[in-house]
Amino acid sequence: MKKRILIIDDDISIRTMLRYIINKNSLGDVIGELSTGDDASKWVDIYNPDIVLIDFLLPGKDGIKIMEECASLGYRGKFVMISQVKDSDMVGEAYRKGIVFFINKPINEIEVMSVLKNIVKNIEIETSMEIIKNTLVNINPPREIKNNINEDLMKVFSDLGIISEFGINDLKNVILSIVNLKKTDHSYNYQLKEIFHEVVDNYKKNDRNEINFKSFDQRIRRIVYKAFENICQRGSEDFYDHVFTEYSSILFDIGEVRKVMSSLDGKEVKKGKINLKKFIEGIISKIY
C-alpha cells in the first residue's frame, strides 16, 4: 500500500515539483497540500498522513512549532523538513524536535527519491515490528535479526570506505544502542550526547578502564567526516555512482556535499559540515 503524504509549503512551485516527483516515481499518494502554518497541526491530525513534507519557515507558524503541536496531539508519522536554511543550529534543532530527514532547496529529484524510499522502507519495518510486538509478549528478538543488522551495518561501513577506520567499533556500538532503543519505542527521541555517555559508561563497566568522553566523541566525528569526504570524492568522479546516489542525501546535507564536490577541481578544497544525528539516522534507516 502506498504511503500517504501531506505537503506543507508556501511556495506553489515547490509543492508542484514535489507532487510531480512523488507521482512520477510512485513514491506515495499526495493526500493534501497546505500553503501556511495556520491550523497545519489540525490538518495533520485530520489527515493522519504517514509522511509530512514540511517547510522550515512558513507564514503563520514555523515548521518546528507545527511539529511540536502534532506531537502533543499524538501524531506518530514521519516529518521531513524542506528548506534553504543553512544555519547548523537551526537544522540541529529540527532534528531534535523529530524530523527524520532534511531536504534542501532547490529541490533535487534524486534526493527526494532517496529520502522517501528510505522512509517508506523504515515505516514498513516499524509496522512489521509493531505487529510482532503486539502479538508476542516478553520475547527477545531472534538471533537472525541481530546478525542481519550487524551484517548490514558492516556493508554500509564498507560502502562508505570507513570499515577499517580506528574507532569504527565505537560508531557501531552507538548505532546498535539506538537500534535497541527503537525496538522498544519506535518514536523514541534520543540525544546523541546521552547515547555517547551510555556507551562510554558500558566500556568502563566492562573494561574497568578510564575512557575519555571527549576522545570518544572526536573519534566518532572523525569517522563520519571521513565517510563524508569519501562520498564527496565518489560524487565528483561519477555523479551517478551507486554509492553516492544511495547514501549522499540520506546521510549528509546535500548542499554541503555539493559545495565540497564543486571545490575538488580547484587548488583549495572546501571543508563541509556534517550532522551526526542525520548520519546515524540515515544508517539506521538502511539497516533497521
Q: Model confidence over 126-159: pLDDT tens digits?
A: 776 666 655 554 444 443 444 578 888 999 999 9
The DSSP H or E segment spanning 7 is strand 4-8
Q: Can you tell me the mean pLDDT for 185-199? A: 82
The C-alpha cell 506515495 sits at 28
| C-alpha dihedral (41, 34, 80, 116), degrees to nearest 10 | 130
Q: What is the pTM of this model?
A: 0.56
Whether the CB-CB separation of 65 and 42 falls below 8 Å is answered with no
Q: What share of the chain is helix, strand, coil (3-state, %, to 5)?
A: 60, 10, 30
> Residue 262 and residue 242: Cα distance in Å, rounded?
19
pLDDT at 226: 95
> What share of the chain has pLDDT > 90, as a percent?
40
* Mean of pLDDT values over 59-71: 90
Residues 29-42: what's their mean pLDDT?
92
Q: Which three cell numbers stand for residue 132?
A: 510482532
Report yes or no: 285 and 119 within 8 Å, Cβ to Cβ: yes
Residue for grid cell 523514541: 188
- Tell me what percent of the residues of the chain surpass a pLDDT of 70: 88
- Cα→Cα distances 64→94, 95, 264, 276, Å: 6, 10, 35, 19
Distant-in-sequence, close-in-space partners of 154: CB < 8 Å, separation ≥ 6: 163
| pLDDT tens digits, 249-274 | 899 988 888 888 888 876 677 888 99
pLDDT recorded at residue 5: 95
Q: Which domains does the chain have, with CATH numbers?
A: 4-124 (3.40.50.2300), 140-288 (no CATH)
Put the strands of the sheet holding 29-34 in their side by side order: 29-34, 4-8, 51-55, 78-83, 99-104
What would you measure as the largest C-alpha separation in the chain, in angstroms? 60
